[in-house]
Amino acid sequence: MLKYILIIIFLSFSIEQSIVYMIKNITSSNMVKIFKKLNITLGGKIGLKVHSGEIGGIYFLTPDFLYEIYNYTNGTYIECNAAYKGGRHTTSLHEKLLNDHGWTKNNTRFEIMDSDPKEDFNLKINNSVMIKENIVGGKLKNYNSCLVLSHFKGHSRGGFGGALKQLGIGFASQSGKAFIHTAGNTKDWEKMKVYNTSQENFTAAMGDAAASIVEYFRQRKGIAFINVVANISKSCDCAGGNASAPEIKDIGILASTDPVALDRACLDLIKNTSENGTEDLINQLNQTKGENTLVVAEFHGIGTQKYNLTLVEDDKIREKNKTDLVIIIIGLVLGFVILVTLLVVFIIRNRNKSKGKDDFLLPQKMNE
């Protein structure tokens, strides 16, 4: 506990803010638009970190929705196997699921990073809070940069799922996931339940692991993050067909080069809503010590919880503004034409009156 108190005191001296961009309209084209707003160049071979979805799942970010950002970045979807039985706990089952969910249609590039456990390697974690290494899939070495694409929502174990959850758990191999979930006690995913790991230790381990991934890519050719805050419930997609239905209205697309600020902003936006499910999500967040992941990740220096939320004009609003401008211009032109027409009519009528008066006087003058 003393360690966490010291971390919080250390972080209280941080005053810098990170920029978090937000577009309210959730569309495929706006995924590209908000990525461009980050003004970051991801070099070399780009990995697009996604969650491939569980059997029966419907709320994950689908390949159809991500198609435009996939094409724009020319990246490759990347994911790891799960550390629990289901549709993703072996490579063969995972590949079938990818096909069922449409990830592989049209020869879409998708790679399971820990498809061969023998290739797993360790990332050292400096100044670790809970774990000193992060075990990741061997094929991570194939990528020079990364764009992390996350569906932001609640999570029954982590409190919330967003960029840090993708970083802290999603990049870990099956053995790495076991290591994180047990706060460093075992690498055997079948023995995870033997250890009664506290939420405080688990979320700290997740923050350690997240930091190792960010540092890995920042030392190479860059990393960026986009969260889609939609279909929000207190639970996650891990339940597949039994996942909780959305309880909070969609909020928008948020992006940043700082995963801590990004997740903090998403949480704050949800907390400030008045939807019925907000209280349940906040209660779960408190019970799971979910915000501890933010604190530990910030301690590692990969981001800050202080942010500046900047709204980005989306395509629909921009088109509306253009239409409004055209209407205003047309209105001004018509107004000018009408004014000129009235002025011309007024001048002509006055001239006619003057001409009629002269014609009437002329004969009188002639008679005289």
Question: Which of 343 and 137 is assigned the larger pLDDT?
Answer: 137
Closest to 243 measured CA to CA, from 51, 59, 52, 50: 59
Q: Residue 100: which pLDDT band, with cuts at 50, 70 and 90?
A: very high
> Does the pLDDT of residue 240 top 90, yes or no?
no
What does the alpha-carbon distance between residue 74 and residue 96 come to, in Å, rounded to a whole number?
Answer: 24
Ranking 36-40, 146-150, 239-243, 273-277 by mean pLDDT, the lowest is 239-243
pLDDT at residue 367, rounded to an integer = 42
Q: What is the CA radius of gyration of the chain?
A: 30
Q: What is the CATH number of domain 2-8+16-312?
A: 3.40.50
SS (H, E, C) 135-194: EECHHHHHCCEEEEEEECEEECCCEEECHHHHHHHHCECHHHHHHHHCCCCCCCHHHHHH
The structure tokens listed for 255 are 């992006």
pLDDT at residue 360, rounded to an integer = 38
> By the 8 A CB rule, do 304 and 260 touch?
yes
Interior angle at CA 336, CA 331 and CA 342, nearest 5 = 125
Q: Residue 342: which pLDDT band, with cuts at 50, 70 and 90?
A: confident
Residue 151's identity, in one-letter code, is H
Residue 312's identity, in one-letter code, is V
pLDDT at residue 255, rounded to an integer = 98
> Does the pLDDT of residue 357 top 60, yes or no?
no
Residue 337's identity, in one-letter code, is V
What does the alpha-carbon distance between residue 104 and residue 115 come to, in Å, rounded to a whole number?
Answer: 16
> By the 8 A CB rule, do 148 and 166 touch?
yes
pLDDT at residue 322, rounded to an integer = 58
pLDDT at residue 352, rounded to an integer = 65
pLDDT per residue as tens digits for the range 147-175: 999 999 988 888 899 999 999 999 999 99
The span from the first CA to the last CA of the chain, in angstroms, equals 121
What does the alpha-carbon distance between residue 221 and residue 169 come to, in Å, rounded to a whole number?
Answer: 22
Q: In this prediction, what percent of the chain has a pLDDT beyond 90?
A: 67
Cα dihedral 193/196/201/203 (nearest 10): 50
pLDDT at residue 314, rounded to an integer = 66
pLDDT at residue 13, rounded to an integer = 52
pLDDT at residue 246, rounded to an integer = 85
CB atoms within 10 A of CB 135: 23
Question: Which of 19 and 247 is assigned the larger pLDDT?
Answer: 19
> Does the pLDDT of residue 346 top 70, yes or no?
yes
pLDDT at residue 237, rounded to an integer = 64
pLDDT per residue as tens digits for the range 294-321: 999 999 999 999 999 999 986 554 545 5
pLDDT at residue 298, rounded to an integer = 98
Q: Residue 111: which pLDDT band, with cuts at 50, 70 and 90?
A: very high
Delimit the domains of the chain by residue range: 2-8+16-312, 317-368
pLDDT per residue as tens digits for the range 37-85: 999 999 999 999 999 998 888 889 999 999 999 999 999 999 999 988 8
pLDDT per residue as tens digits for the range 8-37: 555 555 558 999 999 999 999 999 999 999
pLDDT per residue as tens digits for the range 184-200: 999 998 898 889 899 99
> Does the pLDDT of residue 201 top 70, yes or no?
yes
